[in-house]
Amino acid sequence: MASLVDSKLGTRDPKPLDAMTEETIQQILSRYPERRSALLPLMHLCQEEAGYLTEDAMRELAARLDLPPIQVAEVATFYDMFRLKPGGQREIWVCHNLSCALLGAEQVIRRLEEVLGVSAGETTPDGLFTIKRVECLAACGRAPAIQVGPDYYGPVSPNDITELVDTLRKQLTVCNQSSSSSLEADR
Amino acid sequence: MYEKILTKRFEVPGYRGTLGEYEATGGYQAIAKALKEHTPASLIELVRRSGLRGRGGAGFPTGVKWGFVPKGSDLPKYLVCNGDESEPGTFKDRELIMRDPHQLLEGILLASFAIGCRTAYIYIRGEFVAGARILEQAVSDAAARGLIGRDILGSSFSLDLHVHRGAGAYICGEETALLESLEGKRGLPRLKPPFPATSGLYRKPTVVNNVETLCNIPHIVMRGAEWFASIGTPKSTGARIFGVSGHVRRPGIYECPIDVPMRELIFEHAGGIREGRRLKAVIPGGSSVPVLTERHLDTRMDFESLATAGSMAGSGGVIVMDETTCMVRVGEVVSRFYHHESCGQCTQCREGTAWLHKTLRRIEEGRGRQADLDLLLDICDNMKGKTICPLSDAAAMPIESYLKYFRDEFEQHIVERACPFGTRA
Ligand SMILES: Cc1cc2nc3c(=O)[nH]c(=O)nc-3n(C[C@H](O)[C@H](O)[C@H](O)COP(=O)(O)O)c2cc1C
Ligand code: SF4
Ligand code: FES
């Protein structure tokens, strides 16, 4: 697996890219005539692996794609989905854009903050959830909308929040694949 | 009754959009037909005659755009499907991707054949986690069946198709920012010209088309340009999927002829205003377009009619607001969004969006000053027509329109030093 890390990186801890097989990396690189295009897909993979983009991961990506580290860092900070710090095991994305705001998104956010005991942007002390305000999720037909991983919930009212949080907690404990809730997650 | 085109299969009981189901309902016949009956040039001509215009926002004629790609040059050419769908109020591409992915793939095959491209990408917004998986599965199923890859259906046409995920940035829906992003960079829009048709992805000739635009192509191939052009108006042809959201009884997507009257869309299809309230305002094409009011209800939704009414058809996202809505609060939410999403390259946009948001928030919170209204108009004026991409205009025009139709509401906030709706919701 040493070949995962470019020799010029020396003997740095190879963890982040280690989790991906060489085959995965080659397969992603093969989609593009220029290596740099593989940056976002590889960043997604690193983040899925570690929960966020670690400094090591970014350094190794830079080496792997022959990019100056600054170019990796500027991409990592440009896109909202990349996390540079550890967060909750599940991010709860609550849309606060117009269609959702018209139907009470702010009340939904307030209730969620109450139930989880943290503000938007923060992570619960047990490390399970981070609340994140997000822009339009393209789920405006079900406003106010919430997305967790691949699942959409909506229309969500403040009264649904305890049940939603229970469902998410159960998903995390069972930690099996997909969800089923009376709130009806939709993909 | 109008016969649905793009969402017809959504109504087939149990239809999940698998390859088998798509084929069983006539899918992939258009690519077979085109490979037999068309040359790239005749396919471009067919799409041009259909009058199809882009559904991503700008409404540019699709066949004309394809025709700009240099012919005969041996440079590689690219087709990029824009699946970034991030314009607030817009939620039709996600449904097209989730519920009928092969319809999109067939559109991509046809467009690629027409422009002579061998490698195509679907740029899908990063948040569409399930959508990306569905597309990847669809691509691999189609490849296993010889519909993607080398010598498709025994012809000499070959295409590789890859799904590329964005990572959360509205600006990456703008086509040149999208190309930068696909190249592994920050999504900073490029100065045009050159246009993507001559210098796009990796500086090679590139066509960027919206998901819904491409989904129309198989139907045009099967049923003809004249059939397509017979729907709608002479300048805005075909059908469109409108996403209706906000204070309506039945929010959702509705496919209608592109020139459906706004009244019909809101009051018949979407069930009218909830709780028997009165309609106050409608944003007819995503949050970037100017607002319209009750007196515009008989406007049709095609490109020209909405432009005549002083707004734009944009992305087909129709946001409906009832009489309980505070327009200053709407301005605050909308300007917050553009401020957050401005890429910061142009001073007018970077500073203008910040000032708009700050000023609107101040007014909404009851801290506004009389001079703020002129200040807002002044900022808007400075933001328009002077920037690398249209985001700056898209941030300014809606605010101008709120002031145009609801100025008294803004003044009331300032005089009463509070939001008269009491709902800083
Ligand atoms: C700020 C901004 C955001 C945009 N977002 C999208 C988008 O999310 N999806 C889309 O298809 N087009 C979007 N567009 C329009 C694209 O730049 C481009 O016109 C479109 O993808 C072309 O495809 P079409 O001709 O099929 O509509 C956006 C434009 C701007 C200026
Ligand atoms: S107008 Fe705004 S978003 Fe567009 S390039 Fe300039 S700063 Fe970036
Ligand atoms: S505005 Fe919330 S999902 Fe579109």
Averaged over successive runs of 10 residues, the pLDDT of chain B (425 residues) comes to 93 96 98 98 98 97 98 92 98 98 98 98 98 98 98 97 98 98 98 97 98 98 98 98 98 98 98 96 98 98 98 98 98 98 98 98 97 98 96 98 98 97 67
pLDDT score of A13:
41
Give chain B positions within 8 Å (CB) of A92: none
CA proximity to A131, closest of A117, A152, A141: A117
Q: Ligand 3: which atom is nearest the Cα of residue A105?
A: 2
pLDDT score of B404:
98
Q: How do B206-210 and B252-257 pair as beta strands?
A: unpaired
pLDDT score of A8:
31
Distance CA B91, CA B242 (A): 8
Residues 6+ apart with CB under 8 A from B140: none
Q: A75 vs B170: CB contact, 8 Å cut-off?
A: no
Distance B80 CA to ligand 1 centre (A): 12
Structure tokens at A48: 């899925």
Chain B residue with Cα closest to A41: B165
Q: A41 vs B164: CB contact, 8 Å cut-off?
A: yes
Give chain A positions within 8 Å (CB) of B184: 34, 36-40, 65, 67, 75
Contact B148, B103 (CB under 8 A): no
pLDDT score of A155:
98
B314 touches chain A (CB under 8 A): no
The ligand minimizing its distance to the Cα of B174 is 1
Contact A99, A136 (CB under 8 A): yes
DSSP at B205: -
Q: A107 vs B425: CB contact, 8 Å cut-off?
A: yes
Give chain A positions within 8 Å (CB) of B165: 40-41, 44
Q: A141 vs B243: CB contact, 8 Å cut-off?
A: yes
Per-residue pLDDT of chain A (187 residues; tens, 9 = 90+): 222 222 333 333 445 566 677 888 999 999 999 999 999 999 999 999 899 999 999 999 999 999 999 999 999 999 999 999 999 999 999 999 999 999 999 999 999 999 999 999 999 999 999 999 999 999 999 999 999 999 999 999 999 999 999 999 999 988 644 444 445 566 5
Alpha-carbon distance B270 to nearest alpha carbon in chain A (angstroms): 10
Going by CA atoms, what residue is nearest to atom 6 of ligand 2?
A: B346
Distance CA B122, CA B135 (A): 9
State the CB neighbour count (10 A cutoff) for residue A91: 18
Give chain A positions within 8 Å (CB) of B91: 138-141
Q: How do A129-134 and A90-95 pair as beta strands?
A: parallel
Q: What is the dihedral of CA A69, A75, A77, A80, to 10 degrees?
A: -150
pLDDT score of A174:
82
Which among A32, A40, A99 has the least Cβ separation from residue B245?
A99
SS (H, E, C) A121-150: CCECCCCCEEEEEECCCCCHHHCCCEEECC
Q: How do A146-148 and A90-95 pair as beta strands?
A: antiparallel
Q: A138 vs B247: CB contact, 8 Å cut-off?
A: no
In total, the C-beta contacts within 8 angstroms joining chain A to chain B are 147
Q: A140 vs B287: CB contact, 8 Å cut-off?
A: no
Structure tokens at A163: 């049940």
Ligand 1 touching residue B364 (CB < 6 A): no
pLDDT score of A179:
44
Q: B127 vs A93: CB contact, 8 Å cut-off?
A: yes
Helix (H) or strand (E) holding B361: helix B347-364
pLDDT score of B73:
83
Structure tokens at B311: 């707004």
Contact B102, B63 (CB under 8 A): no
Give chain A positions within 8 Å (CB) of B128: 138
Distance CA B225, CA B61 (A): 13
CA B371 to chain centre: 36
Alpha-carbon distance A145 to nearest alpha carbon in chain B (angstroms): 12
Give which of A44, A140, A186 to mutate to test B binding, by max B Cβ within 10 Å: A140
pLDDT score of A184:
53
Chain A residue with Cα closest to B186: A75
Ligand 3 touching residue A139 (CB < 6 A): yes
Q: How far apart are the first and last CA of chain B?
A: 40
Contact B113, B39 (CB under 8 A): no
Q: A33 vs B76: CB contact, 8 Å cut-off?
A: yes
SS3 B82: strand
DSSP at B170: G
Q: Ligand 3 pocket: which of A93, A94, A100 to mutate (most atoms <8 Å of CB)? A: A100
Q: Which residues are B42's β-sheet partners?
A: none
Alpha-carbon distance B188 to nearest alpha carbon in chain A (angstroms): 10
Tell me the residue type at B406: F
Contact A120, A93 (CB under 8 A): no
DSSP assignments along chain A, one per residue: -GGGS-GGGTT---HHHHTS-HHHHHHHHTT-SSGGGGHHHHHHHHHHHHSS--HHHHHHHHHHTT--HHHHHHHHHHSTT--SS---SEEEEEE-SHHHHHTTHHHHHHHHHHHHTS-TT-B-TTSSEEEEEES--S-GGG-S-EEETTEEE-S--GGGHHHHHHHHHHHHHH--S----TT--B-
Ligand 3 touching residue A136 (CB < 6 A): yes
Burial of B369 (0-12, 13-18, 19+ CB in 10 A): exposed
Does the pTM of the predicted model rise above 0.90?
yes
Distance CA B221, CA B63 (A): 13
Give chain A positions within 8 Å (CB) of B314: none
Distance CA B352, CA B359 (A): 10
pLDDT score of A185:
61
SS3 B238: coil
Give chain B positions within 8 Å (CB) of A134: 127, 168
Contact B49, B225 (CB under 8 A): yes
Contact A90, A165 (CB under 8 A): no
Write the ipTM.
Answer: 0.97
Q: Could you identify the residue written with the tokens 């907690």?
A: A169
A121 touches chain B (CB under 8 A): no
Ligand 3 touching residue A97 (CB < 6 A): yes
Distance CA B139, CA B147 (A): 9
Distance CA B90, CA A139 (A): 8
Rounded to 10 deg, the angle between the A161-174 and A105-116 helix axes is 50
Q: A75 vs B185: CB contact, 8 Å cut-off?
A: yes
Alpha-carbon distance B149 to nearest alpha carbon in chain A (angstroms): 13
Residue B216: C-alpha distances to residues B109, B238, B239, B422 (Å) = 12, 9, 9, 45
CA proximity to B341, closest of B184, B92, B172: B172
